[in-house]
Amino acid sequence: MIKTGLDNYEVWFLDFLEGNLNKSRLEELDRFLSLHPEMKEELHEMELLHLPAEKISFKGKSGLKHTPADYAGVTEEDYQCIAFMEGDLNRSEQIRFKDQLKKDKNLKRKLYLFTRTRLVPDASVFYPGRARLKKKRRLVSAWIYPLAAAVVTGLAFWLWPGKTPEVNHPHYLQMAVKESLLDLNKNDITLKNSTIQLPAAPGFMIPGKENRNIQPMAYLPRKSLHHLPVTARQSDEPGVMLAETRLISKADDTYETLYELALRLFRERILGEPAELVKKQQFTLWEVADVGVQKLNNLMDTGIDIEREYNSTGNLKKVNFNSRLLALSLPHR
Amino acid sequence: MTVADYNRCVDQYADAVYRFLVKNIRDPEKARDLVQDAFEKLWINVDRVDAGKAKSYLFTTAYHKLIDQIRIDQRNRPMAEGMLGEYAHEQQYSDLKEILEQVIVQLPPKQRSVVMMRDYEGYSYKEIAEITGLTESQVKVYIYRARVFLKEKIGSVTMLV
């Protein structure tokens, strides 16, 4: 413990005056004062330095306050009258206001005038064209019906068990490939490597990669691979992209299936796409349905959504259909 | 909301919306167009709007279209409001309703609209705030100020009558 001395006694005195000294320190202070009795007077003088708190209050407090009437920019009397009329007063305020009304004739007159400001709906005014506003049914453009029919037909074809055109069509291939095999830098995504081995059996391996048996949805002549435009999207499985490939040319193919005919007509006549595009690219029925649904959504704001769901090996698992009224999921066979 | 609900709305609210608009802008033709616009918007969104909220939806649309229309009119005829005020004072009033009809147009558009919604439709401050996009406090202030203005006007005029 630091001893009290002539060089630090002020600190001890202050602590003493503020009651911060414990028993042993008080004894130490006594010891110091008995050694230096002249310091007792100084301690007494320090005690006199205490300033008592004065009771000073700000008199203009009420002038700083604001009432709801000030906020509304009206006088207090007006405010009370309107608040009474509008039902904004609580029970006790209402009673107080009614008491005031009994005493004050001017206030009564004021309230009367305020009650006269209430507007009354003019029953003689009516909307003259009401019948024209009414609707019999949703307005649908005439061409929406064939479009809707195409969508339904497309879905029906696509979902029909064992009739999935993508699987059986010789010019369509959907497969899972490693992302590194796709050249994603170009606008038209192409396969970097055209040497992918297509197996004879359903299922093939990606050469040099992990032994993942990937089921293609259909097969394609190997020589055609490098001509294919490829669209790619991320699979559920990390590092695997789903590549959907379609033939550009039908040079080695002269026939046209019923659904191809339907699609061509659909593109030409309903979507109104240029003839060269119609010839060069084939649509899958899925795309027809997808385009149709989009058009329906745009035109009628129906909020219908169809989507395909794949498993980790890139095979189609199910088709989901969502609308405001109906949501269903159809497993793919 | 079904087509039947929509048509019920036409029956129930077309007059109220029209009344609100025509008393505000004093032009039956423009009011008719605005009513039609409001119902057209409701029809376009008929699937999204809940039948229980259709009235509020209609008034919200009508209010915003009304404010737009007033802005356009004010741009085209900047003196119209002031002239109308002077003109109103020169009228010979036969009853209080007529006086109110004349002085209500002298209110600023927003004050006029909120008072009309309050008195014609009995909307609460909260409902009016939702329709107009104002805060409840603003709505209350507008109504109070409008009442004082109307009271002073009818007070001075009824003294003369």
Question: Using CA of residue B103, residue B109, residue B111, residue B114, what is the dihedral sign?
Answer: positive
Contact A246, A172 (CB under 8 A): yes
Q: Average the pLDDT over A233-256 and give the result.
A: 43
**Residue with the larger pLDDT of the pair A40 and A199:** A40
Total domains in chain B come to 2
Measured CA to CA, the distance from residue B118 to residue B53 in angstroms comes to 17
B90 and B66 within one domain: no
* Domain endpoint, select from B37, B61, B78: B78
Search chain B and give the residue with CA nearest A74: B145
At B71 the pLDDT is 86
What DSSP character marks residue A327?
E
User: pLDDT digit string (tens) for A295-305?
Assistant: 777 766 667 77
Measured CA to CA, the distance from residue A51 to residue A321 in angstroms comes to 84
Measured CA to CA, the distance from residue A187 to residue A318 in angstroms comes to 29
Tell whether the model's pLDDT for residue A259 goes beyond 70: no
Q: Average the pLDDT over A299-324 and give the result.
A: 73
At B115 the pLDDT is 92
| Residue B80 sits at the chain A interface (C-beta within 8 Å) | no
| Residue A126 sits at the chain B interface (C-beta within 8 Å) | yes
Rounded mean pLDDT of chain A? 67
Search chain A and give the residue with CA nearest B19: A125
Q: Which residues of A touch B141 (CB under 8 A)?
A: 71-73
ipTM above 0.85, yes or no: no
At B142 the pLDDT is 93
Q: Which residues of A touch B155 (CB under 8 A)?
A: 113
| Residue B100 sits at the chain A interface (C-beta within 8 Å) | yes
B91 and B57 within one domain: no
User: Given pLDDT bands bounded at 50, 70 and 90, which one contains residue A129?
Assistant: confident
B101 and B60 within one domain: no
At A39 the pLDDT is 87
Which of B27, B128, B151 to mutate against chain A (most A CBs within 10 Å)? B151
| Residue A73 sits at the chain B interface (C-beta within 8 Å) | yes
List B78's β-bridge partners, or say none: none
Q: Which residues of B touch A136 (CB under 8 A)?
A: 3
Search chain B and give the residue with CA nearest A71: B141
Partner residue opposite B155 with nearest CB, options A113, A137, A324? A113
B59 and B16 within one domain: yes
User: Given pLDDT bands bounded at 50, 70 and 90, which one contains residue B78?
Assistant: low
B129 and B59 within one domain: no
User: pLDDT digit string (tens) for B87-144?
Assistant: 344 444 557 778 888 888 889 989 999 999 999 889 999 999 999 999 999 999 999 9
**Residue with the larger pLDDT of the pair A133 and B149:** B149
User: Given pLDDT bands bounded at 50, 70 and 90, which one contains residue A253?
Assistant: very low
Tell whether the model's pLDDT for residue B62 goes beyond 90: yes
Question: Using CA of residue A166, residue A168, residue A171, residue A175, what is the dihedral sign?
Answer: positive
At B117 the pLDDT is 93
User: Given pLDDT bands bounded at 50, 70 and 90, which one contains residue A82?
Assistant: very high
Tell whether the model's pLDDT for residue A168 goes beyond 60: no
B91 and B117 within one domain: yes
**Residue with the larger pLDDT of the pair A18 and B95:** A18
**Among A37-46, A67-76, B41-50, B91-100, where is mean pLDDT lowest?**
B91-100
B88 and B159 within one domain: yes
Tell whether the model's pLDDT for residue B83 goes beyond 60: no
Q: Average the pLDDT over B6-33 and give the result.
A: 89
Q: Which residues of A touch B47 (CB under 8 A)?
A: 301, 324
User: Are the Cβ atoms of B15 and A126 closer than 8 angstroms?
Assistant: yes
What DSSP character marks residue A271?
I
Tell whether the model's pLDDT for residue B44 goes beyond 60: yes
Q: Could you list the residue range(s) of the whole structural domain that residue B44 is in? A: 1-78
**What is the percent of chain B where pLDDT is above 70?**
85
At B143 the pLDDT is 93
Partner residue opposite B32 with nearest CB, options A86, A118, A129? A129
Search chain A and give the residue with CA nearest B11: A130
Is A235 exposed, middle or buried, given 0-12, 13-18 or 19+ CB atoms closer than 10 A?
A: buried
Measured CA to CA, the distance from residue A197 to residue A225 in angstroms comes to 11
User: Are the Cβ atoms of B151 and A136 closer than 8 angstroms?
Assistant: no
- How crowded is residue A44: how many other Cβ atoms within 10 Å of its Cβ? 9
B103 and B74 within one domain: no
Q: Which residues of A touch B137 (CB under 8 A)?
A: 71
* Domain endpoint, select from B24, B58, B78: B78
String of DSSP letters for A35-64: H-TTHHHHHHHHHHTPPPPP----TTHHHH
List A330's β-bridge partners, or say none: A319
Min Cα separation A157/chain B (Å): 30
Measured CA to CA, the distance from residue A81 to residue A101 in angstroms comes to 10
Instruction: Report which of B33, B21, B44, B10 is spatially closest to residue B121, judged by C-alpha positions.
Output: B21
B67 and B139 within one domain: no
| Residue A255 sits at the chain B interface (C-beta within 8 Å) | no
Q: Average the pLDDT over B29-43 and give the result.
A: 90
User: Are the Cβ atoms of B32 and A114 closer than 8 angstroms?
Assistant: no
B130 and B67 within one domain: no
Residue B15 sits in a domain of what CATH number? Answer: 1.10.1740.10
B159 and B89 within one domain: yes
String of DSSP letters for A129-194: THHHH--SS----TTHHHHHHHHHHHHHHHHSTT--HHHH-TTEEEEEEEGGGEE-SSSS-EES--
Min Cα separation A308/chain B (Å): 27
Measured CA to CA, the distance from residue A332 to residue A320 in angstroms comes to 10
B46 and B32 within one domain: yes
Residue B127 sits in a domain of what CATH number? Answer: 1.10.10.10
* Domain endpoint, select from B31, B55, B78: B78
